Amino acid sequence: MSYSFYPGCSAHSTGLEYGLSTLATFQHLGLELEELAKWNCCGASSAHALGHHILSLALPARNLAIAQEAGRDLVTACAACFSRLKKADHTLRNDPETREEVESVVGFKFTGEVTVRPVLAVLYEDCGLEKITAHMQRPLTGLKVVTYYGCLLVRPPEVTQFDDPDDPQVMTELLRAVGAEVKPWSYATDCCGAGLSLSRSDIVYSLVDRLTERAQEAGADAMATACPLCQLNLEMRQSSKSKMPVFFFTELLGLAFGLPEVKNWWTKHLIDPRPLLRSVGLVK
């Protein structure tokens, strides 16, 4: 199966290991990702936060137009990009007046043939748990994690149409399929503070500390996430001395598949996850 891939800006910068581990796991599973040609930034939260309604839809819509030409489903790793691409797609499908305006700004005709999907959904629905377990070389036995989705993969549910907005299960099932010990907790979709990290880091420190404390209470030694901004905040805004490692879920799949590239991902982290992985015998 092949897909158009929208890496988003962070896959080339602060979320480097997310982009790399997504490409590596997909390739290993025989799922082809072709990077969307000349893609542009989706506008992230800033375009809509300042009330630039049409701009906030037209920026992602240009990428939908390119994906439409390519004729394949559009897959993205970043939760914020997914949210904006899916919001544009949802609006173009359901609001004819706005569709006309966005079409004229971007210069294309929306057909609705392309579906926007997060990496999690493709692995869960198209690949499936059985195949993922079949590719496992080294079960992640003893690795205790909580899965953390953050906001934008699951909210607002009428737009995202993915998993359960209060109690999502897809990432948990994927990681259990490769032997990780995923602990139940109630904070999987709480907010990390997102873009407030720069202007009000005090707020983000308190939100992140609460999340890591709750993760510890749940019995986890690490967190697994599917959002590059969450991952950066979670690594950068822990105030306690003992730091909890934060993985992208694709890195853990790659580790379980026995991919040799994994060693290049651990060194990208602000919190080195290798001591934890060594303690459970998953790296030397």
Partner 1 sequence: MINNLVSEANRLSGQEIDLCYHCHKCAAGCPVVEAMEYGPDRLLRMVALDQRDAVLRSRDIWLCAGCYTCSTRCPNDIDISAVMDALRKLAVTGGYPAGERDALLFHKLFLGVVQRLGRSHEAVMLGLFKILSRVPIYRDIDSGVALIRRGKVPILPKKSGAASDVQQIFRRSK
- Please pick, from the candidates 93, 131, 138, 200, the single residue that binds partner 1 as defined by CB under 8 A: 200
Closer residue to partner 1, CB minimum distance, 108 or 128: 108
Contacts with partner 1, 64-93, as mask; x by CB under 8 A: ------------------------------
Closer residue to partner 1, CB minimum distance, 18 or 124: 18
Q: How far is the CB of 104 from partner 1 (least distance, A)?
A: 8
The DSSP bridge partners found for residue 240 are none
CA 115 to CA 83: how far, in whole Å? 13
271 contacts: CB under 8 Å, gap ≥ 6: 235, 238, 243, 244, 245, 246
Amino acid at 140: L
104-123: contacts with partner 1 (CB under 8 A): 104-106
Residue 182 is inside which H or E element, if any? strand 181-182
Closer residue to partner 1, CB minimum distance, 25 or 160: 160
Does residue 74 contact residue 66 with C-beta atoms inside 8 Å? no
Closer residue to partner 1, CB minimum distance, 30 or 157: 157
Of 69-77, 102-110, 170-178, 216-224, which segment contacts partner 1 by CB under 8 A?
A: 102-110
Contacts 24+ apart (CB under 8 A), 157-164: 158/90, 159/83, 159/86, 159/87, 159/90, 160/82, 160/83, 160/86, 161/86, 162/118, 162/120, 162/121, 163/120, 163/121
- Please pick, from the candidates 28, 52, 214, 274, the single residue that binds partner 1 as defined by CB under 8 A: 52
- Please pick, from the candidates 16, 70, 136, 280, the single residue that binds partner 1 as defined by CB under 8 A: 16
Q: How do strand 222-225 and strand 181-182 relate by DSSP bridges?
A: unpaired
- Please pick, from the candidates 129, 136, 196, 218, the single residue that binds partner 1 as defined by CB under 8 A: 196
41 binds partner 1 (CB under 8 A): yes
Does residue 48 contact residue 120 with C-beta atoms inside 8 Å? no
148-187: contacts with partner 1 (CB under 8 A): 151-152, 155-157, 165
Does residue 10 contact residue 45 with C-beta atoms inside 8 Å? no
Residue 134's nearest CA partner among 247, 28, 263 is 28
Q: Which residues bind partner 1 (CB under 8 A)?
A: 9-10, 12-14, 16, 37-41, 43-55, 58-59, 62, 104-106, 151-152, 155-157, 165, 190-191, 193-196, 198-201, 203, 207, 236, 267-270
